[in-house]
A = this chain, B = another copy of it.
Amino acid sequence: MFFLRDLPSRRMVEVYAERHDGLDVEAVRDALVLMRRASLLVRRLEAYFAAHGLSQLRFLVLIVIDREPERDGLSVTEIAERLDVSKPVITRTLAHLVEDGLIAIEADPDDARAKVVRLTEAGRATLSEVLPGYFALLSASGEDEGA
């Protein structure tokens, strides 16, 4: 993402609001601030993950597998659904995670089309190493920039 550095100026919105009435200036401001704050938070998170050899998506893949321990692994499609990301992106991301030894992929014994994706020990270790800092960044995100 990204967004206008200098606060999506109230002036700008008001100027345009004059020309198009019925515009809820406050709601527009809120939406702009929402995107700006989320953008900054995502940048901080990506920088944090990069320092641990991960990306936000790689991390979230580990999370969604880990948080369903009763499921003995998820399929590629299930991961894509839970993360709301397209399947080709998941395929590529899983390949990276296998390279790094954080997950293991096996054929599904019940369906020759499907695969079962599981965390490895290293994957679980990475997750517990990264989680505290992740939550700390999320906790802190409400405090900074008055954007």
Interface positions of A (Cβ within 8 A of B): 1-6, 9, 12-13, 15-17, 20, 23-24, 27-28, 30-32, 34-35, 37-39, 41-42, 57, 60, 63-64, 67, 81-85, 131-132, 135-136, 138-142
Query: Can you spell out 13 A-B residue pairs with CB atoms less than 8 angstroms apart?
Result: A2-B57, A2-B83, A4-B63, A4-B82, A5-B84, A17-B135, A20-B135, A27-B141, A28-B135, A31-B139, A34-B34, A34-B141, A35-B38
Q: How far is the CB of A68 from chain B (nearest CB, A)?
A: 10
Known contacts being A20-B132, A138-B31, A142-B30, is A4 close to B42, with CB within 8 Å? no
Known contacts being A34-B37, A38-B34, is A84 close to B135, with CB within 8 Å? no
With a cutoff of 8 Å between Cβ atoms, the chain B residues found around residue A131 in the complex are: 16, 20
Q: How far is the CB of A116 from chain B (nearest CB, A)?
A: 21
With a cutoff of 8 Å between Cβ atoms, the chain B residues found around residue A142 in the complex are: 27, 30-31
Q: A3-B84, A20-B131, A35-B42 are in contact. List 4 more A-B contacts (CB 8 A).
A: A1-B38, A1-B42, A15-B67, A31-B41
Q: How far is the CB of A17 from chain B (nearest CB, A)?
A: 8
Count of this chain's copies in the oligomeric assembly: 2
Tell which of B4, B20, B41, B135 touches A16, judged by Cβ atoms closer than 8 Å: B135
